[in-house]
Amino acid sequence: MIVVIKDRANEESIEKLREYVSKFGIKTVSIVGEKTTIYGLVGDTSVLDMDTILSNEAVDRVIKVQEPYKHSNRKFHPEDTVVDVNGVKIGGRQLCVIAGPCSVESREQILKVAQDISKSGARVLRGGAFKPRTSPYSFQGLKAEGLELMQVPRKQLGIPIVSEITNPATLDIFLENVDIIQVGARNMQNFELLKLLGQINKPVLLKRGFSNTIEELLMSAEYIMNGGNGKVILCERGIRTFEHFTRNTLDISAVPALKRLSHLPVIVDPSHSSGINWLVEPLALAAVAAGAAGVMVEVHNCPSCALCDGPQSLSCGEFDSLMGKLKKVAEAVGRRL
């Protein structure tokens, strides 16, 4: 429920309203705009007495929010949210391109990829350290050592880094070593993990699960935001469909749909969406044309030697050429790289 406050409402009446709703365990989120101030009420608002609210002197009108997601709802926050990662803004007019290997493999590898992608204009470095692999016999990532190796480019180049968390027990090393914590598709509904990430003050990149709906993705964002962490970046990474030519099917409509429903920035991962190197470029361009705040692309210094996801990885040269094309599409849709 949204309560629109009158222009010159007095503080006393507003306080009375807050007190009344808090008796029912309902939280108030204030959104102070240029023209109006609104209060978003989060919790079971069906127990509230409408007459009590409407008779409050400060209240102009009440709008019911039917959707089950509140904090992430655009009705609660009409402006786009811009997530600031040490000065790198995700969600503004400038696109944010995140690039790097699926997995950190060695000091030389991560440093070389980081140098090349940042020269090409990428603004965040990705690298998996704790890898959630389908097979227990596949490379599982370098774990804490992988995060340590990422500190080399993080410090040398000053580039923020993103890596995936899979286990709540490792939260401390993520807090210390990464700038954005990624929640992967397989953990999108790991609600205990999401609640924990709601308690921190670090951006979270939340990927859509491969069998999850747009509403379920927003409900997962809600778990994080309800804990007090509003720095959530949504990521469409392809969903499972009957089509097996591609690894997943990029749901391009999820980009404008999420942007309509929510104020959170939406990025696209064309690498896991397709699973195929030559499809990454057209999907990345389509994502930007559809309004994505950025893309996250897997890039390797030697894709054929990669320990994980080589077939969908771009070489550093291919990434550089993609950036040139992204720039043109970005400008065509009123954005910049």
Residues that bind ligand PEP (CB under 6 A): 102, 128, 164, 184-186, 207, 237, 269, 272
Q: Which is nearer to Mn ion, 105 or 309 (CB)?
A: 309
Q: Which is nearer to ligand PEP, 102 or 288 (CB)?
A: 102
| Cβ 292 to Mn ion shortest distance, Å | 19
Q: Which stretch binds Mn ion (CB under 5 A): 74-82, 101-109, 216-224, 279-287?
A: 101-109
Q: Is position 236 an interface residue for Mn ion (rule: CB under 5 A)?
A: no
Tokens for 199?
A: 């308690």
Around 218, how many Cα atoms within 13 Å sit in the side-chain half-sphere? 22
Tell me the C-alpha distance between 309 and 302, whole Å: 11
Q: Is position 179 an interface residue for Mn ion (rule: CB under 5 A)?
A: no
Q: Which is nearer to ligand PEP, 14 or 161 (CB)?
A: 161
Q: Which is nearer to ligand PEP, 75 or 237 (CB)?
A: 237
Contacts of 8 (CB under 8 A, 6+ apart): none
| Cβ 59 to ligand PEP shortest distance, Å | 44
Contacts of 143 (CB under 8 A, 6+ apart): 129, 130
Tokens for 226?
A: 């309800």
Around 82, how many Cα atoms within 13 Å sit in the side-chain half-sphere? 11
Question: 143 contacts which partner out of Mn ion, ligand PEP, none, CB within 5 to 8 A by kind?
Answer: none
Q: Is position 204 an interface residue for Mn ion (rule: CB under 5 A)?
A: no
For residue 185, give the nearest of 130, 237, 252, 254 by alpha carbon. 237
R_g (Cα) of the chain, nearest Å: 21
| Cβ 272 to ligand PEP shortest distance, Å | 4
Q: Is position 307 an interface residue for Mn ion (rule: CB under 5 A)?
A: no
| Cβ 280 to Mn ion shortest distance, Å | 12
Q: Which is nearer to Mn ion, 217 or 297 (CB)?
A: 297
Q: Which is nearer to ligand PEP, 42 or 267 (CB)?
A: 267
Task: Tell me which of 309, 319, 323, 337 binds Mn ion, using CB under 5 A.
Answer: 309
Q: Is position 102 an interface residue for Mn ion (rule: CB under 5 A)?
A: yes
Task: Provide the Cα torsion 229, 230, 231, 237; round to 10°.
Answer: 100
Query: Helix, strand, coil % (nearest 5) of the chain?
Result: 40, 20, 40
Contacts of 36 (CB under 8 A, 6+ apart): 4, 5, 7, 60
Q: Is position 234 an interface residue for Mn ion (rule: CB under 5 A)?
A: no
| Cβ 308 to ligand PEP shortest distance, Å | 8
- Kindly list the residues in this chain that would bind Mn ion in the complex (CB under 5 A): 102, 309
